[in-house]
Amino acid sequence: MKSFTQTDHNVLELFEDYVREWIETTFDRLTPPQRQAWPLIADGKNTLIFSPTGSGKTLAAFLFCINELFKLSVSNNLEDTIYVLYISPLRALSNDIHRNLYQPLRGIFSLLRNRSIHCTPIRSRVRTGDTTAAERAKMARKPPHILITTPETLYIILTTKKFREHLKNIQYVIVDEIHALAGSKRGVQLSLSLERLTAFLKRNPVASYHRLCQVAIARMADIITARIRIKIFSLTNT
């Protein structure tokens, strides 16, 4: 049974009508992370969300990015460049990515097609240490709009002059499972890579940090904001 509140409907006004329709036909209501985060994300503000597992944090991070990409596509302004960078220390994320990225991409594209609205499909690709040379070459020729990678691979990408150029239009950075990086060498490497990315862009992309352990939230947010000088919308478990 649908139980969208008036607040939910107000929040959904932030989205394009076809994205709003997909949300309303797919879900019964907005979750607290989505209800509270989307207005702040849309405004480019730093946001920290405390929320249990399964409460829609990852979708909250991805969906507004997806909304902006479809808006570019429908208006024929979508370029062959990377707009969204998703970084996770875990490679085994197929279920999470399928549910929170691939399903919205396919669902919204299908809805637009049923409306006879032309748009270019939003491309997403995974690049890790397991990616073959042929796949890397294909991505270099035609980069995805959403790049899914690991901290180690991001470090390599930033040193690869040809592919690095595809990062110049990044608007959003999503870092998942950051609690698995905090206090480790991988976390130091990622901090350095994000600072290098910011210096390369010469501007501050909006960024999302997921699932910080509660004890480390304030300190990690302070360190990251101070070091990389980027806008943050952070998602974490209670």
Domains with residue ranges and CATH for the chain: 15-236 (3.40.50.300)
Q: Where are the alpha helices (DSSP H) in 47-183?
A: 57-74, 94-97, 103-114, 133-141, 151-159, 161-164
Rounded distance between C-alpha atoms, residue 185 and residue 56, angstroms: 29
pTM reported for the whole predicted model: 0.85
pLDDT higher than threshold 60 for residue 185: yes
Rounded distance between C-alpha atoms, residue 173 and residue 230, angstroms: 10
Q: What is the mean pLDDT of residues 23-28?
A: 96
Say what the alpha-carbon torsion angle 186, 187, 189, 192 is, to the nearest 10 degrees.
170
* More confidently predicted of 209 and 162: 162
- What residue has token string 């594209």? 109
Counting residues of the chain whose pLDDT is more than 70, the rounded percentage is: 82
The 3-state DSSP class for residue 125 equals strand
- What residue has token string 């979750």? 31
Q: How do beta strands 231-236 and 124-127 pair?
A: unpaired
Show Cβ contacts of residue 221 under 8 Å, excluding neighbours closer than 6 positions: 48, 209, 212, 232, 234
DSSP H or E run through 127: strand 124-127
Rounded distance between C-alpha atoms, residue 164 and residue 139, angstroms: 12
Half-sphere exposure of 90 (CA within 13 A, CB side): 13
pLDDT higher than threshold 90 for residue 107: yes
pLDDT of residue 41: 82
How crowded is residue 229: how many other Cβ atoms within 10 Å of its Cβ? Answer: 12
Task: Label residue 217 by pLDDT band (50, 70, 90).
Answer: very low
pLDDT of residue 169: 92
Task: Label residue 181 by pLDDT band (50, 70, 90).
Answer: confident
pLDDT of residue 94: 64
pLDDT of residue 214: 38
What is the sign of the dihedral through the CA atoms of 185, 186, 189 and 195?
Answer: negative
Q: What is the mean pLDDT of residues 204-220?
A: 50
Counting residues of the chain whose pLDDT is more than 90, the rounded percentage is: 51
**DSSP-assigned letter for residue 56:** S
**Which range, of 44-48, 165-169, 204-208, 231-235, averages the lowest pLDDT?**
231-235
Q: What is the mean pLDDT of residues 1-21?
A: 95
Across the chain, mean pLDDT equals 83
| C-alpha distance from residue 202 to each of 146, 187, 209, 229 (Å) | 20, 22, 21, 11
**Which range, of 8-22, 113-127, 193-207, averages the lowest pLDDT?**
193-207
* More confidently predicted of 237 and 164: 164
* More confidently predicted of 53 and 173: 173
**pLDDT tens-digit readout, 190-203:** 888 888 998 888 87
